[in-house]
A and B are shown apart, each in its own frame.
Chain A
Amino acid sequence: MGQRIQLEVVTPAGAIVNSDVDIVNAPGQGGDFGIMANHEPFLSTLKTGIMVYEIDNKRTPLMITGGFCEVSGGKVTFLLENAEFGSDIDVERAMRAKERAERRLAQAAQHDETVNKFRAESALQRALARIRTVGM
């Protein structure tokens, strides 16, 4: 077994993960990245998507929105506005959200001024990430 790195995931509702992991993968704004032990100090903002951490070949996915990742002093910290485990996700709700967002985007494509395209797009991103997290 190789070296491990301490992973901490903190949200406004409290720390939800605090354990030593083999590797953690996350969707950075500048592309996906993976972090293992002895990574140099690093800071990246994150996209809405899925981060995955691995302990003894056991992969745990987490759906994440809005935040950043920081590596320093042998520790990696994710500061996120929201993070959800697959088991906490309501798939049907996510499906409904996806349909709603798609409908809104279709409306926006027809120059409907009442639709906030940016919000609809981020809602769609979130819904898709949730659905994928559950499927992992």
Chain B
Amino acid sequence: MPSLKEVKLKIVGVKKTAQITKAMNMVAAAKLRGAQEKMEAFRPYAAKFAETMQAVSSGMTSQFPLMEQRAAQKVELVVFTSDRGLCGSFNSNILKRVAQVAKECAAAGQQVSYVCVGKKAEQALKKTGAVRTAYSGIMGHFSMYDARDIAQDVANHFLSGAVDRVELIYSRFQSIVQQTPTVAPLLPIQPIEDAPKVSGEYLCEPSAEAVVETLQPLYLNVQVYHAMLEVSTCENAARMSAMDNATSACKDIVNNLTILYNKARQAAVTNELMDIVGGAEALR
């Protein structure tokens, strides 16, 4: 049986850990609310954008460089994870999905390269030696500008012919307890099929083609930004539940240790009594 002091110290230690996990849980909850608000604010923009994009490109037959379909020999995966850990299996779920996709590509004889967004992606994928660029340390506080940097970089790479297909891998926020790793195609931009014909043709300036050509890179920004928003929401949700679990695990441990402590104390008392009784017995 461990000594009384040992058990006592252990209880104090575990209680402190519980305090920290509890605090992290609350911080994650607050950040989750912030992330959800950001997503909510972004929704009208994204919806309007998709609507207009459909409206202008419906019935347009001309080819755009960003839509060029090529036989996929080189595939680029843009992987979104969080910068920080302590969020349960959130990052490893995404990375598992990445490994799966990479395996499929390899089986199809395609060469894979990575663009990592978030420190955890970079750390995990560095050893593959196929990381082209990494954006670390931006997931905590990112804006449309960051999304634009990433989207532009990827688009230029695609246009230069260095890659034939680009896919985004991120986590989609379903609910606080459910986040699903998702693979979404980014480039080439998929032609919009059977779009509803918009009543009243637009007068486009400078021309319909020019408008679409300007909109397409912006469309990429929207998609990248959306992925970043989803990931930051998921990250905080995952951290919240991970820290909640940790806190309740700490409570369980404290309970068990307290029982152990009480038993140890009782054993000490019994021993002392036996000594006294034994001493008295010997004197008689």
Contacts and interface: CB of A to CB of B under 8 A. Distances in A.
A17 interface: no
Contact of A68 (B52, B200, B222): B52
A29 B210 CA distance: 9
A43 B42 CA distance: 21
A10 B206 contact: no
B144 interface: yes
Q: How large is the interface on A (under 10, 10 to 19, 20 to 34, 35 or more residues)?
A: 20 to 34
B45 A12 contact: yes
The secondary-structure label for the interface of chain A is strand
Given A28-B205, A43-B202, A79 B41 contact: no
Contact of A41 (B144, B201, B210): B201
B44 A15 contact: yes
Contact of A11 (B45, B206, B208): B45
Contacts of A44: 204-206, 211
A90 to B, nearest CB: 15
Interface string A74-90: 00010101100000000
B18 to A, nearest CB: 37
A40 interface: yes
B214 interface: yes
A60 interface: no
A25 interface: no
Given A11-B45, A77-B48, A79-B48, A29 B214 contact: yes
A13 interface: yes
B211 A45 contact: yes
A72 B204 CA distance: 12
A28 B206 CA distance: 8
A66 B218 contact: yes
Nearest to A66: B218
Given A43-B56, A45-B210, A72 B202 contact: yes
Interface string A56-100: 000000000011101010000101011000000000000000000
A2 interface: no
B225 A33 contact: no
B157 to A, nearest CB: 15
B225 A43 contact: no
Contact of B200 (A10, A72, A82): A72
A135 interface: no
Interface string B77-100: 000000000000000000000000
B148 interface: yes
A70 B52 contact: yes
Nearest to B207: A30
Contact of B45 (A29, A43, A79): A79
A81 B44 contact: no
Contacts of A40: 203
A68 B214 contact: yes
A68 B205 CA distance: 10
A10 B56 contact: no
A100 B206 CA distance: 32
Contact of A13 (B41, B56, B203): B41
Interface in B235-281: none
Contact of B211 (A14, A15, A68, A81): A68
Interface of A: 10-15, 28-31, 33, 40-45, 66-68, 70, 72, 77, 79, 81-82
Q: Which 7 A-B pairs have the closest CB atoms?
A: A14-B41, A30-B206, A44-B205, A45-B214, A43-B202, A30-B205, A42-B203
Given A43-B202, A67-B218, 7 more contacts: A10-B48, A41-B202, A41-B203, A44-B205, A68-B52, A72-B202, A82-B144
11 contacts: A12-B41, A12-B222, A14-B45, A41-B200, A41-B201, A42-B205, A44-B205, A66-B218, A68-B211, A79-B45, A81-B218
